Every structure is written in structure tokens, then in C-alpha cells.
Structure 1
Amino acid sequence: MSAGGDRVSGAGEPILRVAIDRKVYRAGASEPVEAVRGLAFTVERGEIVCLIGPSGAGKSTTLRILLGLDPDYEGRIEPDPRGAETSPGMVFQEPRLLPWRTVEQNVRLAMPRGRRGRDLDGLFDHLGLAPWRGRYPGALSLGMQRRVALARALADDPRLLVLDEPFVSLDDAAAASLRGLVVDTVDRLGMSVLMVTHNVAEAIAVADRLLLLSPRPASLVAEVRLDRPRSARDRAWADATRRDLAERHPGVIAD
């Protein structure tokens, strides 16, 4: 399997370089827990990269480090998230919307104060949120709340969109719709995506590149470039790809 998608990706310098030599949790008198060891990868311009690993492997820890939320580690992130001019857009597992704020207010409050007055009509139209701008999150389905969370992450035009299990708990139709929106948005805006997931089928459907992580402490087991355009990834190809991955990496991919 080698690289390929519906657009050219990977042109120019990587927009993100991650090199986590070691991350250890030391909680009180308990034994130290090594969460990450020797994990290094890049994300290139215009590509979708999926980070896949078993539960407890250190995926969320890795995200916290590259977002600048956990500076207590050995290694280096470039650009440094604590000093970067443009922070990554972040979509968490839960929408994390303020229930007393409208959809539009939730999106604008996440933007830098000086940019909160910018025109967001195009973004709301593209994500199918225009009719809901004045509604409160409680009036929306989970799938629509996830769209609001995506709008919030995209509102400041980030170069990198980071997704942490963004489609979990959605039914198949809602998940497929939101995946399509993410891919279409990335293609239109030319941004990059780093998505953390344990859903291998989901990753195979959208990624240009898979990064497979070992059980804790997390390290890179394999990098897999997918060689078929997303529009041509039918069920038979996806199933065959998953079986091949499971045979080659049984500790990471369940058959």
C-alpha cells in the first residue's frame, strides 16, 4: 500500500513535527507509568493522518502534548504549540458546547477577540448550520452538535485540524455524513488533519496515511500509506486492507 488520495498531499515541508522521546506519569506514591517512548512522526500539508492504537496506548496523551496542554515530557514539537501564531483547530470526543450560548456564540467565543466579528456565513452554509445559528445546543441532535464543534475548530482558519474520536457514538448515517464534511472541508481549504481513532474502518475510509501505535508505552509500529483515492475505496477494498493490516500488526489491529 502506498500513498494516494483525491488530491495531491505532502507537498513542501511538514506543518507538524512530533518527536516525543519519553512521557512518564508520576502520581503520588504509585509506580511511575511510562505512557510514550520514542514516538516520532510528521503531518504534511493537505493530508489526513490517522493515529491508531489500542485503548490506553497513549493516543490522548500524545494529543495533549502536541496541543501544548502537557509540557512535562522529553522531546520536541515543531512548531511549539505554546508559541505558535496559529493554534490547531481541535474537535474533542464530546462537543463541549456552552448550553446557555447559541450555536453562533459558541463558535465565535472560541475565536481570538479581534476576529470574532468576521463573516462566517460561508462556514455555516458549508456545514449545514445556517438555519441553526440562533438555536441553543440542547435543541440539536448529537450529530448537529458535532458539526458546531467542527465549525468552532475551523472558524479561525487553522492550518491543522486535530480530531479526537470525532465520530464516536454517532449512528452510521450521521458518522458518514460528518466524515464526508470533514474530507470535503479539508479538500476545499487545503488544510491538514491529524485524527486519533481506534476505529480502523473509519481510518481506512478517510486517511492518506495511517500511523499504527504499540500498546503502552506508545511508539510507532508502522506507517501505512493508502494507495487508492477515497472516492474509489469500496467495501471489498476496505475489508481487504483491514485484513492485511490485522495479519501484519495483530497487536494493534484486531481482525
Structure 2
Amino acid sequence: MSAAGAEAVADAPVLSVAIRRKVYGAGGSEPVEAVHDLAFSLNRAEITCLIGPSGAGKTTTLRILLGLDPDYDGSVTPDPAQAGISMVFQEPRLLPWRTVEQNVRLALPRPERGRDLDALFASLGLTPWRGRFPGALSLGMARRVALARALALQPRILVLDEPFVSLDDAAAAALRAIVVETVERAGVSVLMVTHNVAEAIEIADRLILLSPRPASLTATVPLALPRGQRDRAWADATRRDLAIRYPGVIAA
């Protein structure tokens, strides 16, 4: 492959989503259109935040791009089963009768369950907790375990659904830093669903703004200023500008 060809492959989206229409109860007396003409892509080593009003169709969109809901008109490329996607849900979903280490290793294919995970546990500050059970963990630590479980699969794409909700500021900041470090170190692409606009402005490379239901693309907003240069004044000004430009999506 030529250098130009290799560069084009490197710059190609790692995932492209094009949902022309998703309807619940199609053919029934009260069909509900959840998504309409929504298209976006994910790029390598970027953090993309998906933002929209409650009930807009964010969860439906996630189910489609994860391959959990094939009943829609459109496409996801590559097929979700081949895209290398790992998911972190709002709730940690840990097995209470398994240790932290066992919960992480159970996500791996059986032949890989003996793999060395020392570096992964150390990067998430979980080394002292490997033998503990979920009942001994705070919510913040449990969410670290859920993140470790997803990262153990060495994904190309990490999908996060409100991953920091209900955490105190310190715990949320620590997890955000881990996500950013993972992107920068491993080149993972992140799609994060959040209602926290300030959080998105802090860490995202791009914002995808959704309309009220049925979800459609309101805007794609790049955040070109490097993360390390984003201070409080810049973040506040960015949010005010978004609230003016997209009042149906971003609250003032």
C-alpha cells in the first residue's frame, strides 16, 4: 500500500452510523418514531460525546450501533460484531459473588482469561482491590472495575453510557482522566452519552447534538482547543454559545 493509501486508511472512520428511520410498534395503532435521518461517524483516537434531551433516542441509537437492535432502516459500518466495541453501562453490573479480578476476567474469551492484566489494574488504581468483592467497593471504584472489564477486551471503540453520573466531583474527574489517558495511549475511539454538557466540553473532541424525538442530527460541533488548554472561562463561554445556537438541545 502506498503512503497516501495508508494515510487514507488511518484517517477513515472506525465506525459510521446512518439510521434513516427507527420506529417502535410499526404497523400498530400508535407507532413511535424514535430516530429519523441520524448519521455520524467515529474517528480513531477521538472522544465524541452524544448529547440530546431526555427521551430523544440516545439509548435507541446506542442499541443499534452495538448491534442489539437490527430492526431499523439504515446501516452501521463495519458490522458491530466486527467493529471491536466494548460497552460501559450506567450501572457497573458486577457479579457480587465474584471478586474484582474475576469480574474482569469473565468478560474475556475463555482462552485469554489467564492473560497478564497487571498493567490494566495498575492503570485504574485497582491493584489493591483485585481480591475484593463488589460489596466492598464505592460506586466510583465499581465503575472503575466496569471500565477495566471493557478495556480488558482491548477494544477499538469504547462506548460509555452516562459513565460518571452520581459520582462526586473527585471520583468523576479521576475517571475522566483515565478515559482521556486511554485514548491518548492506546488510540481507542470513545463515544460517550452524557447529559452533563460541562463534562463533554471538558474532554470531547467533538459533540454530536441530537434533536428531541425523533432523534436527528442537530449539529456536529468540533472542539478544536486542546484539552490541556481548556480553562473554566473558555468552557463557560463555549457552553453559553452552544445554548444560544442550539436552545432545544443545550440548556442555558
Smaller-chain TM-score bracket: over 0.9
Structure having the larger proportion of residues in helix: 2
User: For 1:184, which of 178, 181, 184 is the aligned residue?
Assistant: 181
Q: Is this contact kept in 2: 1:104–1:134, CA < 8 A?
A: yes
Alignment match, 1:158: 155
1:181-218 per-residue CA deviation (whole Å, 9 max, x = no partner) reads: 11111111111100011110010001000000000000
User: For 2:121, which of 121, 124, 143 is the aligned residue?
Assistant: 124
Q: How far 1:29 sits from its partner (Å)?
A: 5.4
Partner Cα distance (1:12, 1:112) in 2: 30
Alignment of 1:100 with 2:97, yes or no, is: yes
Distance 1:39 1:27, change over 3 A: closer
Alignment match, 1:64: 63
Q: Which runs of 4+ in 1 moved over 4 A?
A: 27-30
Q: Is this contact kept in 2: 1:109–1:116, CA < 8 A?
A: yes
**Gaps (5+ residues) in structure 1?**
1-9
Letter in 1 for 2:174: S
Q: Percent identity?
A: 76
Alignment of 1:251 with 2:248, yes or no, is: yes
Q: Is this contact kept in 2: 1:11–1:44, CA < 8 A?
A: no
Q: Is this contact kept in 2: 1:203–1:210, CA < 8 A?
A: yes
Letter in 1 for 2:239: R
Residue-pair matches, total:
244
Distance 1:65 1:11, change over 3 A: same
User: For 1:89, which of 86, 94, 97 is the aligned residue?
Assistant: 86
For 1:217-228, list aligned pairs within 5 A.
217-228=214-225
User: For 1:212, which of 202, 209, 214 is the aligned residue?
Assistant: 209
Q: How far 1:87 sits from its partner (Å)?
A: 3.1
Alignment match, 1:197: 194
The CA RMSD measured in Å over matched residues stands at: 1.4
**Gaps (5+ residues) in structure 2?**
1-8
Partner Cα distance (1:75, 1:28) in 2: 18
1:91-140 per-residue CA deviation (whole Å, 9 max, x = no partner) reads: 00010000000001100111111211111000000000000000000100
Partner secondary structure for residue 125 of structure 1: helix
Partner Cα distance (2:78, 2:95) in 1: 30
Partner Cα distance (1:228, 1:29) in 2: 48
Partner Cα distance (1:156, 1:212) in 2: 29
Alignment of 1:148 with 2:140, yes or no, is: no
Letter in 2 for 1:61: T
Letter in 1 for 2:95: L
Partner Cα distance (1:45, 1:105) in 2: 30
1:114-168 per-residue CA deviation (whole Å, 9 max, x = no partner) reads: 2111110000000000000000001000000000000000001100000000000
Q: How far 1:28 sits from its partner (Å)?
A: 9.4
